[in-house]
């Protein structure tokens, strides 16, 4: 039994409001410092391994507690001095205080540690591919709009609270997106448009969403409203077009539900086009408001290059791209394959994927709307035999049923693109038990600098191939 397990159930060795001096031993996957008092973990924001800190205990439970730094007594060599605490407090940039080299290592290490836990330390993890400029990279922003001191503001909420922090520089968003948000906010102020009030479920504007093409510079503005009607619609649209000539799509999205989900189902095109365009590795993509599109274009090109290297296509292969979004991976691979099948659950994204294939003159793709689980089974029953399967699931990873269909289809290679190392390692174990092996290091690619998110690519190969 470990010391932690022995302590479980006994009274915590610290109590709320106590002040004590501790040394940080570790960093959690959420970027919090960990200090141990008699093996009892205290989680502390803005504290890095090796640092000695005086802390105030905020909360204790049976097995762990939370504390905040009162004074930092020693400073880690890996610390970046942060003058603006908002990005840590709102969770926009929970690793902002850790230097970038150390962030990249933190991400690589997360995957290695998870592999070690399940005795797969023989699988290597390559150094994380990082960015030269790890700020202002996001091509999409979804910013809440609230009334603060009688004024409409855009910003973010402090973590786990209803405290709203107005912001103008969002640190990790494309700078032009920040400017457009400010312009739109000012226009909403000018026309006295009401901000959403979540307690009363009243008001008009809930969020401003902005997307910008990295290569095309085309901008989409989505005004997410609680009400079906957008007062002063014509004037607002004209003002946005006048102030921001790069905006080529203005959409109203209606979300009447009391929910944290940002977008509702209904889009009304107010001006311009329903989609904006962007490019990745020389291929043009149309992007609708609801469609998933990787948020870091510079790193996405590197991510997709890692996928393409893993597949090592010769032009003869049949490929399945499960969880294909708007077909970005499918179309990247289609020029090097005989046929690519894609499946995606969001209908708008499938419309985009088909449009994208046509717009790029790519004729060897077939996109289906539905769940990857159901379509993998259908394709398996239809006798489709992929040489390569690419999976790029959401954080929850793969369903066991999909893994079963995949194994029955017996592809030579499975390229697993993951945004969650925990589910990646869980799923890899299942494939390893079913005739697949991993010979090449897993490749992390830093899609989300300053945050704790970890993206990586793993290549599974059939043992008898």
Ligand X SMILES: C[S@@+](CC[C@H](N)C(=O)[O-])C[C@H]1O[C@@H](n2cnc3c(N)ncnc32)[C@H](O)[C@@H]1O
Consecutive H or E run containing 261: none
Name beta bridge partners: 221. 210, 250
d(CA 332, CA 417): 14
Residues contacting 43, CB < 8 A, separation 6+? 28, 32, 33, 34, 64, 65, 66, 67
Q: How far is the CB of 376 from ligand X (least distance, A)?
A: 9
Token pair listed for 276: 């904006």
On whether 290 is known to bind a ligand per the annotation, the reply is no
Indicate whether 324 belongs to the interface with ligand X (CB under 6 A): yes
Annotated binding residue at 323? Answer: yes
Among 112, 256, 371, 461, interactor with ligand X by CB under 6 A: 371
Per CB under 6 A, the segment of 9-17, 74-82, 341-349, 440-448 that binds ligand X is 341-349
DSSP string, 73-121: -S--TTB---S-THHHHTTS-TTTTB-HHHHHHHHHHHHHHHHHHTT-T
* Range 399-428, binding ligand X (CB under 6 A): 419
Among 45, 51, 317, 344, binds ligand X (CB under 6 A): 344
Q: Which of 127, 282, 347, 394 binds ligand X (CB under 6 A)?
A: 394
When the beta carbons of 194 and 374 are compared against ligand X, the nearer one is 374
Residue 450, marked binder: no
Residues in contact with 133: Cβ distance below 8 Å, sequence separation at least 6, in sequence order: none
Considering the complex, state which of residue 167 and residue 320 has its C-beta at the smaller distance from ligand X. Answer: 320
In angstroms, give the least distance from the CB of 147 to ligand X.
Answer: 33
305 scored as a contact of ligand X (CB under 6 A)? no
Please report, for residues 65, 75, 178, 353, 450, the alpha-carbon distance to residue 92 in angstroms, rounded to integers and kept in the order given: 23, 23, 14, 30, 8
Kindly state whether residue 251 participates in binding ligand X, applying the rule CB under 6 A.
no
Question: Token pair for residue 342?
Answer: 């894609």
Q: Which two tokens stand for residue 355?
A: 């449009």
Find the binder of ligand X among 130, 289, 325, 421 (CB under 6 A).
325
Residues near ligand X (CB under 6 A), total: 19
Nearest residue to the partner ligand X, using Cβ: 325
Least distance CB 397 / ligand X (angstroms)? 10
Helical ranges in 130-272 per DSSP H: 175-190, 233-243
Nearer to ligand X, 227 or 377 (CB): 377
Tokens of 151: 């004024």
CB of 322 to ligand X, least distance (A): 7
Contact status: 99 vs ligand X (CB under 6 A): no
The distance of closest approach from Cβ of residue 294 to ligand X in the complex, given in angstroms and rounded to an integer, is: 5
How many residues are there in the chain?
Answer: 465
Instruction: Give the separation between CA 297 and CA 219, rounded to whole angstroms.
Output: 15
DSSP state of 4: H
Quick check: 282 binds ligand X (CB under 6 A)? no
Tell me: does residue 333 bind ligand X (CB under 6 A). no
419 is catalytic: yes
Q: How far apart are CA 41 and CA 61, in angstroms?
A: 10
Angstrom distances, CA of residue 267 to CA of 125, 270, 274, 344: 42, 9, 9, 20
Is 427 annotated as belonging to a binding site? no
**Can you tell me which of 76, 328, 365, 450 binds ligand X, judged by CB under 6 A?**
328
Q: How many CB atoms lie within 10 A of CB 465?
A: 12
Supply the residues annotated as catalytic: 419
Q: Which residues are annotated as a binding site for S-adenosyl-L-methionine?
A: 294, 323, 344, 392
Could you list the residues that contact ligand X (CB under 6 A)? 292-294, 323-325, 328-329, 343-346, 349, 371-373, 392, 394, 419
């Amino acid at each position: 039994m470990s010391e932690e397990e022995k302590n479980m159930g006994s009274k915590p060795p610290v109590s709320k409001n106590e002040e004590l001096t501790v040394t940080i031993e570790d960093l959690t996957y959420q970027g919090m410092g960990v200090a141990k008092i008699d093996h009892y973990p205290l989680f502390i924001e803005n504290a890095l391994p090796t640092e000695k800190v005086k802390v105030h205990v905020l909360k204790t439970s049976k097995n762990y507690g939370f504390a905040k730094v009162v004074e930092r007594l020693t400073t880690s060599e890996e610390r970046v001095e942060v003058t603006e605490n908002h990005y840590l407090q709102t969770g926009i940039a929970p690793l902002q205080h850790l230097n970038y080299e150390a962030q990249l290592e933190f991400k690589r290490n997360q995957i290695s540690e998870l592999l070690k836990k399940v005795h797969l330390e023989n699988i290597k993890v390559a150094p994380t591919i990082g960015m030269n400029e790890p700020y202002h990279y996001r091509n999409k922003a979804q910013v809440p709009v609230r009334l603060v001191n009688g004024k409409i503001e855009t910003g973010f909420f402090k973590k786990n609270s209803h405290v709203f922090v107005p912001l103008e520089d969002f640190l990790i968003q494309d700078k032009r997106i920040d400017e457009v948000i400010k312009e739109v906010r000012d226009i909403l102020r000018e026309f006295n448009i009401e901000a959403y009030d979540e307690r009363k479920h009243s008001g008009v504007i809930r969020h401003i969403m902005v997307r910008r093409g990295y290569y095309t510079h085309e901008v989409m503005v989505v005004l997410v409203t609680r009400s079906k009607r957008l007062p002063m619609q014509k004037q607002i649209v004209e003002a946005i077009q006048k102030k921001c000539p790069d905006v080529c799509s203005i959409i109203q999205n209606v979300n009447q539900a009391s929910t944290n989900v940002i977008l509702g189902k209904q889009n009304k095109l107010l001006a311009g086009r329903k989609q904006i365009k962007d490019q990745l590795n020389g291929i043009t993509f149309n992007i609708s408001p609801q469609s998933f599109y990787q948020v870091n274009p510079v790193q996405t090109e590197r991510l997709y290059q890692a996928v393409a290297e893993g597949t090592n296509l010769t032009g003869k292969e049949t490929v399945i791209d499960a969880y294909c979004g708007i077909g970005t991976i499918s179309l990247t691979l289609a020029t090097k394959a005989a046929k690519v099948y894609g499946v995606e659950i969001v209908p708008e994204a499938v419309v985009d994927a088909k449009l994208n294939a046509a717009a790029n003159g790519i004729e060897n793709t077939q996109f289906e709307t539905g769940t990857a689980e159901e379509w993998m089974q259908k394709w398996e029953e239809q006798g489709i035999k992929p040489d390569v399967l690419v999976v790029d699931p959401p954080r929850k990873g793969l369903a066991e049923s999909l893994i079963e269909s995949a194994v029955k289809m017996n592809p030579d290679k499975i390229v697993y693109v993951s945004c969650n190392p925990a589910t990646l390692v869980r799923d890899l174990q299942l494939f390893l038990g079913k005739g697949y092996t991993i010979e090449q290091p897993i490749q992390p690619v830093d899609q989300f600098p300053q945050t704790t998110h970890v993206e990586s690519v793993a290549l599974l190969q059939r043992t008898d191939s």
